[in-house]
Amino acid sequence: MSDNDFINSVDDLKEVLGVVSEEVPGLLRGLRDLVYSKEAAKSMAESVATFYSTLVDSGIDKDEAMKMASGYMINLRDLVSTKNINIGDFKRSDKESSD
């Protein structure tokens, strides 16, 4: 390895992996909380309702508008389940609970 390489030894790699293993679960929990909070649910519902109403007001058939509004919603769990990740499984650690 050259002097410009980020990871120069096994110890460097262990350090990087240690930081990743500590930080990633917290990032995923934060993402889960952002997407699945009451505020996020309310905002999504308002967005979908506005989308549906706009379609109907524009002359789209109500049944077709309902299909389109349903497609408008993207479920994050479905999105990440393709990678076998369930962000709902991450629990708050004692360290985070005290923050």
The pair of structure tokens assigned to 98 is 């005290």
Residue range 40-95, pLDDT digits in tens: 788 888 888 998 999 999 999 999 999 888 888 765 455 555 555 555 555 544 44
Q: Provide the pLDDT for residue 29.
A: 84
Type of residue at 92:
R
Cα separation, 57 vs 87, in Å, equals 37
Q: How far apart are CA 19 and CA 14, in angstroms?
A: 9
> Could you tell me the residue ranges of all domains in the chain?
10-84
Contacts 24+ apart (CB under 8 A), 3-8: none
Amino acid 60 reads I
What pLDDT does residue 97 have? 46
> Between 62-72 and 38-57, two packed helices, what is the crossing angle to 10 degrees?
150
